[in-house]
Each structure stands twice: as C-alpha cells, then as structure tokens.
Amino acid sequence: MTKKKDSLGKDEPVFTKKQILASDQYRVQQDLVEALLKDNQTYTLKQVETEIKGFLKGKVN
C-alpha cells in the first residue's frame, strides 16, 4: 500500500479501484464505485467519498 500526502501534509493510504471494490466498506455501493472510479488510478478513502457524494448530489435532467 502506498501513501499520498493530504492537504495538511499527513500521509493517507491509497487504494486501487480493485481494492476498494473488495472492501466491506463499499459493498453496498459497488456499482457506483465501479462506474465512478478509473481502473488505472489510486484513491484515498476521502477521494472515494467525495466522488460518491458529488455524483449523488448531481442534477437529474
């Protein structure tokens, strides 16, 4: 597992899309995570939450 610096300079662990999909924390939102995250990128848990919340707050046409 690698780490990424957050805005306060603290190290946060980063995960691949595959690791996030395998976690119990996002089991209920697996379809959403699958659609929103890119395969070749790593994410902190904070970034995943931001992506999900941004999508859920989006406008419906």
In a domain, 36, yes or no: yes
Domain with 45 in it = 2-56
In a domain, 61, yes or no: no
In a domain, 18, yes or no: yes
Domain total of the chain = 1
Residue type, 10: K
In a domain, 40, yes or no: yes
pTM of the model: 0.80
In a domain, 41, yes or no: yes
* pLDDT digits 0-9 by tens, 10-61: 788 999 999 999 999 999 999 999 999 999 999 999 999 999 999 999 877 7
Confidence (pLDDT) at 60: 75
Stretch (H or E) spanning 5: strand 2-5
* Cα separations in angstroms, 3 against 9, 24, 36: 11, 21, 21
Q: What are phi and psi of 43, to 5 degrees?
A: -140, 145
